Amino acid sequence: MDYELIFLAAGQGKRMNTNQNKMWLELASEPIFVHALKPFLADSRCKHVIVVCQADEKHIVEHFLERMALSASEIARIELVSGGAERQYSVKNGLAKCGTAELVLVHDGARPFVSLDMIDRLCETASCEGAAICAVKVKDTVKRVEQGIVQETLDREKLWQVQTPQAFKQETLKKAHAQAAIDGFLGTDEASLVERLSVPIQIVEGSYYNIKITTPEDLPLARAILGEREGDQH
């Protein structure tokens, strides 16, 4: 099934301890932004890419897109939109630019290791079930803590670490955003909004390599993942 992509690139890099958007940091001579975007541009089912970025950084996005030497058809699929003060508002701005595709994917530009296989499985599940998110099982023991005191140990067999992409029927995601606005609800991801509609959301196995680059400690790991991937291709 064809889909449209809301690609979030409006981060500020506060936890990265950098004075620039973390997505402009380079891995193997290419910005994180470019690594994250490439798999979607290589997917013929992706008919429209809505890059949500800070208004004063549109020129930076345009610069990196020019460096990618994209074809005319690839360029025609990309649209830039200004982000909001919160992730939820950025996605809402992206949704307002979506066309007629039944399926919408949302992806963090700070996740540079999404694979076509992952996108395939996500789209297949979402097209059948209506809503699907990538996630991996939690490996560590997780405890609920209040004011520094352990309250309980959670059953990790029931815990999943959520990633992006996340995929939804466009109508469902728009309805979820509308309801959240009415209720004054601010979620941490798209699924948290859709959950409030009591819509079943299917888990699609992601990858432990599909990390989100958030802090300086993530960069050495990202370089190691990239090196291993390049080694596998030779």
* Burial (Cβ within 10 Å: 0-12, 13-18, ≥19) of residue 222: buried
> Rounded CA gap, 224 and 221, in Å?
5
Output the pLDDT for position 232. Answer: 62
Strand partners, 136: 161
At residue 117, φ and ψ (nearest 5 deg) are: -60, -40
Output the pLDDT for position 65. Answer: 94
Output the pLDDT for position 164. Answer: 98
Could you tell me which of 48, 150, 21, 38 has the C-alpha nearest to residue 102?
Answer: 48
Strand partners, 15: none
Output the pLDDT for position 19. Answer: 65
Could you tell me which of 110, 112, 95, 120 has the C-alpha nearest to residue 181?
Answer: 95
pTM of this prediction? 0.94
pLDDT tens series, the chain, 234 aa: 899 999 999 876 566 656 678 888 888 889 999 999 999 999 999 999 999 999 999 999 999 999 998 999 899 999 999 999 999 999 999 999 999 999 999 999 999 999 999 999 999 999 999 999 999 999 999 999 999 999 999 999 999 999 999 999 999 999 999 999 999 999 999 999 999 999 999 999 999 999 999 888 888 899 999 887 765 654
Q: Give all strands (DSSP E) within 102-222, no chain letters.
A: 103-108, 131-137, 142-146, 149-154, 160-169, 202-205
Burial 93-115 (b: 16+ CB within 10 A, else e): bbbeebeebbbbbbbbbbbbbbe
Output the pLDDT for position 191. Answer: 98
Output the pLDDT for position 28. Answer: 85
